[in-house]
Amino acid sequence: MTTLQSIEFDYFANSLPEAVAALRALGQVSARDMEAGLLELVKVRASQINGCAYCLQLHLNWARQADVPQRKLDRLAVWREAPGFTEGERAALAYTEALSDPNRRGDVASARRALDGVFSQGQLLRLTVAIATINAWNRIAGALEFKPPQAE
């Protein structure tokens, strides 16, 4: 995957390389035994919720590279009402919203139960780490005003 950076990202990465390395390591751990397109959908949805333009554009680009269909990306903000999402995607997106949106915190247990039978216990753990990691990136990028990369 291409790395699309901004001046603000570069400053952060050069100032705190160990933080970037740690976040990237978490991302690599969460990617094991997980489908890349699903993880990109989760990261795009969390970035939409958190209002992070940098992460949103970056993960839209990476979702396209992972062959996520454009129609799915176009409908992601309204995935509950839109056709074309698998049971696994729907469960992962509900879990993402429950962990990312403070107004949905009460939904965490039911969202996690919806993952049962769709994902293994290991995949549930990796999905949780992936969501936590994108939420951390969203907050860092938002606070430090990373400029969005170009669309691909």
Q: What is the pLDDT of residues 21-35, one digit of tens each?
A: 999 999 999 999 999
The answer to whether domain 7-143 has CATH 1.20.1290.10 is yes
Q: Dig out the tokens for 151 from the structure.
A: 């669309």
pTM exceeds 0.85 for this model: yes
Torsion of CA 57, 31, 131, 23, to 10 degrees: -80
Share the mean pLDDT of the chain: 93
Note the pLDDT of residue 66. Answer: 97
Phi, psi of 119 (to 5 degrees): -125, 150
Weakly modelled stretches of the chain, pLDDT under 70: 1-5, 151-152
